Amino acid sequence: MNLETTLAGRIAVVTGGALGIGFAAAERLAQRGARVIIADRDGADEAATRLRDQGLAAEGLAVDVASEKDTEMLAQTITERHGRLDIVLNNAGIYSSLKPAPFETLGPEEWRRVFDVNVIGLFLVCRALLPLLKASGHARVINIASGVAFKGNPWMAHYVASKGAVISLTRALATELGPHGITVNAVAPGFTLSDGVHGNPELVDGVKEPSLRNRVLARDMLPADLVGAIEFFAGAPSAFITGQTLVVDGGAYFH
């Protein structure tokens, strides 16, 4: 099997795909032959141009996953341009802008902001794209969760809870969408030095050292460390796997 074309002919959507983990994943899927639609609130067109400059098939769409109108526009655009959809990577989420804080200092508005993107956004994207996924016959949904959902890290209760919800939603969707030939799985990264994280020194100072200390593979985790797991769940080798969460964190948590 030619690894360079294992996803040839597939149409893929990557939310939050303009930077960091999302862009690394979009690049890998495109390298494997998929036509990738980068859906991001900012920078989607620029990210798609970067991929096209490599000779890869990519499009950019300005999409806020927390907006019902935007997710419906995403589905309509894909329907009009391609008439089908095979892969959805729900990567968009709020993390890199968060500052560690005690539970009792987090207000409801901050909880709602995190859940609106990390959980409700995932719901809106999947709901809008579901007719296209059902028509595929071999669709793949991949959700980006987090290892913190298993470890219960302190000072980020709203984020931890949101990623726990992603894992539970992954399982519920897998059971409901299986009869349509759709697999639904999650990838749970450890602390990843992405573009956004580098822009939040307070987060890096508070999380990087404990993360390195607790890993069996004691080095920094980069977006490139996740793309293999994402590619696996997007392709044929994972066709009989659904409802699962794969932790990719250098051995900090054995799941």
Q: How confident is the model at residue 204 (pLDDT cuts 50, 70, 90)?
A: low
Parallel, antiparallel or unpaired: strands 245-248 and 183-189:
parallel
Q: How confident is the model at residue 3 (pLDDT cuts 50, 70, 90)?
A: low
Out of 43-57, 106-120, 186-200, least confident range: 186-200
Q: Which amino acid is at 6?
A: T
Q: What is the pLDDT of residue 198?
A: 66
d(CA 14, CA 58): 11
The whole-number average pLDDT for the span 72-83 is 98
Nearest CA to 29 among 93, 112, 109, 85?
Answer: 85
Q: How confident is the model at residue 1 (pLDDT cuts 50, 70, 90)?
A: very low
Q: Are 30 and 11 in contact (CB under 8 A)?
A: no
The whole-number average pLDDT for the span 12-35 is 98
Q: How confident is the model at residue 32 (pLDDT cuts 50, 70, 90)?
A: very high
Sheet order of strands, 35-40 included: 58-62, 35-40, 11-15, 87-90, 140-144, 183-189, 245-248
What percent of the chain clears pLDDT 90, i.e. is strictly above it? 82
Length of the chain equals 255
CATH numbers and ranges of domains, the chain: 3-248 (3.40.50.720)
The whole-number average pLDDT for the span 103-125 is 98
d(CA 236, CA 239): 5
Q: How confident is the model at residue 208 (pLDDT cuts 50, 70, 90)?
A: confident
Q: Are 177 and 141 in contact (CB under 8 A)?
A: yes
pTM check: above 0.85: yes
Catalytic positions, written as ranges: 159
For the chain, the average pLDDT equals 94
Out of 2-11, 114-123, 145-154, least confident range: 2-11
Q: Is 142 helix (H, G, I), strand (E, B) or coil?
A: strand
Task: Give whole-number Cα distances, 11 to 29, 117, 118, 147, 239, in Å.
Answer: 10, 23, 23, 28, 17
List of residues 6+ apart from 27 with CB closer than 8 A: 51, 54, 56, 227
Determine phi and psi for 147, rounding to 5 degrees: -60, -20
